[in-house]
Amino acid sequence: MEPTRFVFGPVKSRRLGLSLGVDPLGPKICSFDCLYCEIGPTRIHTLQRRPYQPVSLIEQALRERLAETDLHFEVLTFAGSGEPTLHSDLGRLIETAKSLTDRPVCLLTNSSLLWDKKVRDEVARCDLILPSLDAGREETFRRLNRPVSGLGLALIVEGLCALREEFAGEIWLEVMLVGGVNDAPEEVEAIAGHVARIRPHRVQLNTVDRPPAYPVAKAVPLKRLEELARYFDPPAEVISHEALASRGGDRQPSVSEIISLLAHRPSPSEEIAAALSYDFKETLSLLETLVREKKIKTRVFKRRLYYYV
Ligand code: SF4
């Protein structure tokens, strides 16, 4: 087995910045089979936690990748093809990642195992958790997320509430809205009711941006997403591709402007892009190059990566 398949990127993520991904699962293994999944239909539909891939090979791949001298990334993210908490050695893998890098360690999860205290204890070492919750009603949950049998929405909401009580880092909850499935006002009101109990640090509304697993999953237009964001208190952030593209600047980043800015004020990537009205992904690319060429440096402060001269 080729070890490097477990570590991918860095990819330029609008939510996280320059993200080095760790995929502990391989071919799609998930507790859900969401209509909108961009990876395709679920191959192994399960709630069983197992060492689906050998933990030593994943650790070896991570060690080798992180030892590369010209590697630059802002966060390390457990994600990939399926639901990462299904790997029974996730806790050990998070510990290993924390011992190998000073970058914030993040987790993308569909929230389906957070009711299990053992899983919550394993993920507690992360700096940031990005769970998802797409439905406020059981029937919609079944239709949209197509969970394994026996897994109910109430259990998922309880798990998210318990995580919020126990977890020391931030929780950014993603809500994926799909046209004609969960974008009616009463559906979004029901989701917002659960969110009021969960109290995540941020709520981020998204919609179908890439080819979905099932063609029935349609995008919700930006204007409607912005209206629905106001059902949450405080209003949710809209993070669809279209929303972020319309918000960001479109100037091409310039080396001299960035160095001049950083000489006055160390800044994270999104602040550099916003301050200079740059395209965010282009900014990440240039920052990556400048770090590699040793023209700028980085340091982590309060779980964020700052660039400085
Ligand atoms: S939870 Fe994520 S990986 Fe699993 S089916 Fe849904 S979108 Fe795909």
- Cα(10)–Cα(202) distance, rounded to whole angstroms? 24
In terms of DSSP bridges, do strands 304-308 and 297-301 run parallel, antiparallel, or are they unpaired? antiparallel
| pLDDT band with cut points at 50, 70 and 90 for residue 1 | very low
Contact 28, 294 (CB under 8 A): no
- One DSSP character per residue, 250-302 reads -BPP-HHHHHHHHHH--B-HHHHHHHTTB-HHHHHHHHHHHHHTTSSEEEEET
Q: What is the pLDDT of residues 66-97, one digit of tens each?
A: 999 889 999 999 997 899 999 999 999 999 99
> Which domains does the chain carry?
3-247 (3.20.20.70), 255-308 (1.10.10.10)
| Sequence letter at residue 264 | H
List Cα–Cα distances, 145 to 50, 51, 138, 171, 231, in angstroms: 22, 24, 10, 21, 21
Nearest CA to ligand 1 atom 6: 34
Instruction: Retrieve residue 22's tokens.
Output: 């760790």
Task: Enumerate residues 6+ apart whose C-beta is below 8 A from 179.
Answer: 207, 208, 218, 219, 220
Q: Are 26 and 12 in contact (CB under 8 A)?
A: no
Tell me the C-alpha distance between 256 and 32, whole Å: 47
Candidate from 28, 30, 174 with most ligand 1 atoms within 8 A of CB, to mutate? 30
Give the distance (Å) from ligand 1 centre to CA of residue 14.
19
The pLDDT > 70 percentage for the chain reads 98
Closest CA to 199 of 162, 230, 146: 162
Tell me, what amino acid is at 98? K
Query: Using a 6 Å CB cutoff, which residues line ligand 1?
Result: 30, 32-34, 37, 39, 42, 82-83, 110
Per-residue confidence (pLDDT) for residue 248, from 0 to 100: 66
3-state DSSP call for residue 239?
A: coil
Q: Which pLDDT does position 3 carry in this prediction?
A: 41
Contact 114, 154 (CB under 8 A): no
| Cα(245) to centroid(ligand 1), Å | 24
Round to whole Å and give the CA distance between 261 and 285: 17
Average pLDDT over residues 184-204: 98
Ligand 1, residue 176: give the atom nearest the CA: 7
Please give the mean pLDDT across all residues of the chain.
Answer: 94
| Separation CA 78–CA 90 (nearest Å) | 9
**91 Cα: distance to centroid of ligand 1 (angstroms):** 20
Q: Return the SS3 of 206.
A: strand
Question: For residue 167, what are the contacts with CB-CB under 8 A and spacing of at least 6?
Answer: 120, 123, 124, 129
| pLDDT > 90? residue 20 | yes
Angle at 18 between CA 13 and CA 20, to 5 degrees: 100
What pLDDT, on a 0 to 100 scale, did the predictor assign at position 198? 98
**4, containing H or E segment:** none
| Cα-based angle 56, 112, 110 (whole degrees, multiple of 5) | 80
pLDDT tens per residue, range 131-184: 999 999 999 999 999 999 999 999 999 999 999 999 999 999 999 999 999 999
Q: Ligand 1 mean position to 31 CA, how many Å?
A: 8
> What is the mean pLDDT of the segment spanning 44-56?
96
Residue type, 156: I
The pair of structure tokens assigned to 15 is 């939510």
Distance 109 CA to ligand 1 centre (A): 9
